[in-house]
Structure formats: C-alpha cells, structure tokens
Amino acid sequence: MAIGKMVVIEIQKAEFPTDIMLFRKYLGQICASDENAMPGKDGQKRALPIVGIYFLGKSLPQVDAPVTRVIRSYHDAATGEIIRVKDDFIESFTHDSIVVQIPRLKDRRRNDLEILLSIFDQTRRAGGTHELEMDENELPEKYRDVLRRLVWAMDRSRR
C-alpha cells in the first residue's frame, strides 16, 4: 500500500527574526494533527510523511537559487553508505522541503518550475498594492489554469 504525503504550504512575506518560529509552530500544529495520519498496513494510524513548501518574501543572503530543494537521505553513520529504504519512524519526524525565494524569481525562467513560479514575481505588482498584474498569455497554456485558480481564490476572498 502506497502511503501519501502531507504537503504543507507556508507563505511568509514579513522579514522579522520571529518568522522562523511562526513556520515551526505551524509545522508543529500540522505534525500534531490527526488529519496528518492514515491507516498503515497493519490498520494502525501512521503519520504521513510531510513535504514543506515555503514561500519567502525575502531573499536568503547565502542562497542565490530562486527554488531550493532540500532532499533528505539516509546514511549509515559508521560507513557513510546510503541506506536506500525508507522507514515510517524516520519519515514521521523529518521532512523534505522546497524553499521559494520570491525576490529571486525576477527574470529567472530556466526551467518549467521557474516559469510556473513567475506568477509570483513581485516586479508585477500593481501600483502600491499587494496584487500582481499578469497577462495569462505570457504563460504556457499548461500553467494558465493555475493562474486562473489563483485569480478565482483572490476574487473569492474579497467577498
């Protein structure tokens, strides 16, 4: 039986030292939630592995990449050998993540992911607002539905 994953998306535009604590508290709430569990092979509840996607409104000074993937791997501490299996216990307490530095998206369109994330490029800000202007024809057809859903969500939140 394949176990799914819990995807956590956090957007943080503030630039205060306490921001990391907000991320950690939110992640802690997700980890503690019964919604983050599925029945395992034995029928007992098992915590889902978590993938965190973090959108940062500021740049990390030492990381130039607009999108950074943090991919955990298991290693034998004595030999350094890579352990190629996954374990429910380890997967329940650690997580892979993707960190998106929104300011570093500017003019970066090196692959499909950066093209898709160009939707969030802050150089598209509409006058002093928090809204972005974008012509959907600037995106490949396969990403236009994502833009349309974001516009729909924004319109809906105004109600």
Nearest to 98 by CA among 80, 116, 85: 116
H helices present in 10-157, as ranges: 19-32, 88-93, 112-117, 141-157
7 and 53 in a single domain? The answer is: yes
115 and 47 in a single domain? The answer is: no
Tens-place pLDDT, residues 3-33: 578 888 888 766 666 777 887 888 888 888 8
101 and 115 in a single domain? The answer is: no
9 and 87 in a single domain? The answer is: yes
Whether this prediction's pTM lies above 0.75 is answered by: yes
- Give the pLDDT score at 14: 63
158 and 89 in a single domain? The answer is: no
- Give the pLDDT score at 15: 67
72 and 92 in a single domain? The answer is: yes
- Give the pLDDT score at 75: 96
Number of structural domains in the chain: 2
Q: Provide the domain limits for residue 88.
A: 1-105
**Where a domain ends, among 71, 87, 105?**
105
- Give the pLDDT score at 63: 94
Q: How far apart are the first and last CA of the chain?
A: 42
Low-confidence ranges of the chain (pLDDT < 50): 1-2
